[in-house]
Structure 1
Amino acid sequence: MHVLALIGARSGSKGVPNKNIKLLGGKPLLAWVIEAAKKSKHVNRVVVSTDSEEYAKVAREWGAETPFLRPAELSGDKSTDFDYVNHAVNWLRENENYQPDLVVRGMPTVPFQQASDFDGAVEALLNDPEADSSIVMAPASQHPGKALKLIPDGNGGELVVGYISGDPKDAAPLLRQGYAKAYFRANLVAFRPHILSKFNSITGERIRPYIVPQDRSVDIDSPIDFVIAEKLMEELKF
């Protein structure tokens, strides 16, 4: 079985310049996900899709392949995961006649993921031959139902109208046990390549979950996230 780990790492981050190669725990952010993928017992190829030769050089230094540079038109703020994943899978098929049985899409911004997360996503998919994909996810630390909803007041301000859950604005927040379980994606998706053309999607319709602890879903998006992640690495001895 051929399993491709495809890691998306575009340049041009506005919140944190060169975020994907900024050092975290003494390594470029991109290195953490590459190392996790390479340690997976199912993954047998790791490819990084990037629009930056600088990023590509870093990826190769940490053991990934960069057989192409992502086109600029697939690297903007409005480009979707599907856009660059579809490009990568098609490029490998057309230029190398390489067609993996499964693809695991990873992201550099989730540095605490482990090889077992890649394996769990693959196995969740293999255990259900009818599944299109599996998504790695973690329990929500704050339930979305506890978020307050605002509406315009007609005078340039806003008013609180209640909770996203539908509870009235004067209701005390319900206990966590009162809500259905909620999870957030940990930015790791395993899928069968044929769904790209069938659904124009990397998840399709029948999706299996693979649940991981919250710390494995920490997502780096801002300068403060790097500070928090450094502290967490110290605590976890990661």
Structure 2
Amino acid sequence: MKSRLTYAVIPARGGSKGVPRKNIKLLKGFPLIAYSIAAAKLSKLTDRVIVSTESSEIAEIAQHYGAEVPFLRPAEYAQDRSPDIDFIRHAIDWFAKNETTAQPELFVHLRPTTPLRDPALIDEAIGKIVKNDDATALRSAHELAEPPQKMFAIENGYLAGFFPGDPRPEYYNLPRQVFPKAYHPNGYVDIIRTGYVTRTNTLHGPRMIGFVTPYTIEIDNPDDFSHLEYTLEKQSHPLYEYLTQNY
């Protein structure tokens, strides 16, 4: 099915304030990044597994678990507020300048902070974008339990709705069923067309395929990490089993 050169690209910077050393913190005995590497390696439709990091320590760990680290990302592209397009553009430019073979057309962007994936869903996502030449990108998301119309900001100590222009009195008290379904992008699998990034200097463009996945936990704070540890204690996962059998 796939005829386009496809690289899994896993970004893993060394700094993290919410969970220190998050990308290599052990999750049931294995570094967090190892789960994303395993998912990419078990995908049948990715040609290479690349880790982009500025950290030599992370690079060494990534290589141990089977990823390639052909370059170290410049530190200025690995700051707290560095946008994703920085490391993506750096990777595209590096391959163009340093490898004479065919260049990758698709980057499968796998965030280490969403570790528990099904490799078959990665392949399904690749298949969807390969079949849709009009799509500028693909992003994964899961359905939210509540739509944004039922959420609040706090202004001067008082709750305030996010949609003050809605003409319905106290619209936020309406049943959730009257609002459109809402989806949260979750980092399970995003797919970027490298040529589109080069032409427009944007990542996703206006025609993103919405790839709906099961609800998934993203690690942003220590509680999220503890919850995943608990999940793996109660029920094993194919990626954990793969790591246990091979490492």
- TM-score of the superposed pair, with normalisation by structure 2: 0.87
1:230 alignment partner in structure 2: 229
1:62 Cα shift?
0.6
Match of 1:201, as an amino acid? Answer: T
1:235 Cα shift?
3.6
Structure 1 residues 164 and 237, CA gap change in structure 2 (3 angstroms): farther
2:53 alignment partner in structure 1: 50
Q: List aligned pairs for 1:98-177, cutoff 5 A.
A: 98=101, 99-152=103-156, 158-162=157-161, 164=163, 166=166, 173-177=173-177
Q: Which moved further from structure 2: 225-234 or 75-84?
A: 225-234
Contact 1:161/1:169 (<8 A) preserved: no
Unmatched 5+ residue regions in structure 1?
153-157
2:214 alignment partner in structure 1: 213
Structure 1 residues 236 and 175, CA gap change in structure 2 (3 angstroms): farther
Deviation readout 1:31-80 (Å, 9 max, x if unpaired): 00110011111101000000100000110011000011100111111211
Identity over aligned pairs, percent:
37
Does 2:39 align with 1:36? yes
Q: Which moved further from structure 2: 166-175 or 23-32?
A: 166-175
1:173 Cα shift?
3.0
1-side partners of 2:134 and 2:159: how far apart?
44
Q: 1:83 aligns with which of 83, 86, 89?
A: 86
Does 2:205 align with 1:198? no
1:92 Cα shift?
1.2
Structure 1 residues 172 and 47, CA gap change in structure 2 (3 angstroms): closer
1-side partners of 2:168 and 2:14: how far apart?
43
Give secondary structure in 2 for the equivalent of 1:197. Answer: helix
1:160 Cα shift?
2.5
Deviation readout 1:99-133 (Å, 9 max, x if unpaired): 11211111100011221232122112112111111
Q: Which moved further from structure 2: 198-207 or 48-57?
A: 198-207
2:184 alignment partner in structure 1: 184
Q: Which moved further from structure 2: 133-142 or 24-33?
A: 133-142
2-side partners of 1:53 and 1:138: how far apart?
34
Q: CA RMSD in A?
A: 1.9
Unmatched 5+ residue regions in structure 2?
238-247
Contact 2:12/2:112 (<8 A) preserved: yes
1:94 Cα shift?
0.6
Runs of 4+ in structure 1 deviating by more than 6 angstroms, as ranges, are none
1:150 Cα shift?
2.9
Give secondary structure in 2 for the equivalent of 1:135. Answer: strand
2-side partners of 1:85 and 1:126: how far apart?
20
1-side partners of 2:167 and 2:26: how far apart?
43
2-side partners of 1:186 and 1:161: how far apart?
26
Structure 1 residues 60 and 119, CA gap change in structure 2 (3 angstroms): same
1:155 alignment partner in structure 2: none
2-side partners of 1:183 and 1:171: how far apart?
20
What is the total number of aligned residue pairs between the two structures?
231
